Amino acid sequence: MLMSEHIVPVRVYITIFLVLLVGTALTVMAAFRDFSYRFGNHEVQLNTIIALTIAVTKATFVVLYSMHVRYSSRLVWVIVASALFWMGILFALTFSDYWTRGWLPVGLLTLCYSPRWSVISLTSIRFLQVGQFRRIVAV
Amino acid sequence: MTGMHAVHMIIRRGIVGVSFVLLDRGRYGPEYHSPVEVIGLYWHFVDIVWIFSFPLLYLLGRHFERRIGRGWC
C-alpha cells in the first residue's frame, strides 16, 4: 500500500501539535521584535531569516510525523527529496532574476524620478509613467 | 494568495467531511484505508502552505513597511 503499516500512537500527534503551537508562538513573538543589526555600513535584517527558520522546522515536523514520512519506505524518502530538489530549482530560477534586478548597468533613462535622484535599474523603466518619462527627457 | 489558500481550505474541509461520513458508514477499516491516508496528505499539504504564508503575509510586513516610501524606487 502507499504507507507502511506502522501504527503511530496518539501521544506522538499530541506532541507534534504542541511543538507546532510553540513554533507559532515563537514566530509571533519574533515578529514583534526588530532583529536588525548594523555591521559598519551594512544593516542586516534577521526577521525574515528567523521566521523562515521556524517555519522550515515546523514544516519538517509536519512532513516527518503528520505525513508519516518518518515511518515510510526509502522510496517515499527519495520522492520527498526529489520534490525538495525540484523546489530548489524553481527557487534558484526565480531568485536568479529577483536578486540581480539591481545589477543591470545604469543608463540615462534609469535616473530615478525620486526626489533624492537615486538610481533604479533598467527593468523599472516600465513602471515610469509617460509624464515622468517626458520630465526625465526634459531634464 | 490568501484567497487561493481559502479555496484549498474549503476543498480540504469538504473532502475530510466526506471521508468522515464514509468512515461513519464503515467504508474504511484495517484492510482499506488508503483514501484516509491520501486525504491526510492533502490536509497537511495545505497545512504546510499556511505555516509559510502566515509569517510571510501577516507577520513580516511590519518590518518592511518602513522601507517602502523612503523615496527610492
Q: CA A60, CA A16: separation in Å to the nearest integer?
A: 11
| The predicted structure's pLDDT at residue B46 | 94
The stretch B29-56 carries a mean pLDDT of 91
Contacts of A63 in chain B (CB under 8 A): 44, 48
Asked if the model's pLDDT at residue B51 lies above 80, the reply is: yes
How buried is A96 (Cβ within 10 angstroms: 0-12 exposed, 13-18 middle, 19+ buried)? exposed
B37:A120 CB<8 A: no
| The predicted structure's pLDDT at residue A136 | 52
| Helices and strands, number each (H, E), in chain A | 4, 2
Contacts of A34 in chain B (CB under 8 A): 63
The cell numbers describing A64, all together, are 516527518
Q: A36-43 long-range CB contacts below 8 Å, 24 or more apart?
A: A36/B63
**pTM assigned to the model:** 0.71
CA distances for A96 relative to A12, A78, B50, B64, angstroms: 40, 27, 25, 22
Tens digit of pLDDT at every position of chain A (139 positions): 455 567 888 999 999 999 999 999 999 999 988 888 888 888 888 888 999 999 999 999 999 998 888 888 999 999 999 999 999 999 999 999 888 877 765 555 555 544 444 444 444 554 554 445 455 555 4
> Dmax of chain B from CA atoms?
65
Average model confidence (pLDDT) across chain B = 85
A59:B63 CB<8 A: no
Q: CA A42, CA A33: separation in Å to the nearest integer?
A: 19
Residues from B in contact with A at Cβ < 8 Å:
34, 37-38, 40-41, 44, 47-48, 51-52, 54-56, 59-60, 62-63, 71-73
Asked if the model's pLDDT at residue B70 lies above 50, the reply is: no
For residues B63 and B32, the model is more confident at B32
